[in-house]
Amino acid sequence: MKQIWFKRKGWLYLPVHPAGFMVTALAVLFMIPIIIANDRNVHSVTDELYSNFIYGSCTAFWWKWVADKTSLPS
């Protein structure tokens, strides 16, 4: 039987299982030191957005992939 970690609500995925909450928390915790390090080394808001976009988009992609694979089929 497939374990359901996320529930799909429109475009959103909401964690409904402790593993889903853990995946979400790990994604957020992964981004915190990256944002802090980028914030220390940039000179403008645009630099920070460019620097954070690469890590943020990759993290969001993998989080969505896990959420999609562990949610109910729509």
Residue with tokens 């993290």: 59
Q: Where are the domains positioned within the chain?
A: 6-69
Residue 74: predicted pLDDT: 63
pLDDT digits (tens, 9 = 90+) for 33-63: 999 999 898 888 898 899 899 999 999 999 9
pTM of the model: 0.85
What is the band of 15 on the pLDDT scale with cuts at 50, 70, 90? very high
Question: What is d(CA 13, CA 47) in angstroms, rounded to the nearest whole number?
Answer: 30
pLDDT at 25 over 90: yes
CA-to-CA dists, residue 57 to 2, 29, 32, 49, angstroms: 27, 15, 14, 11
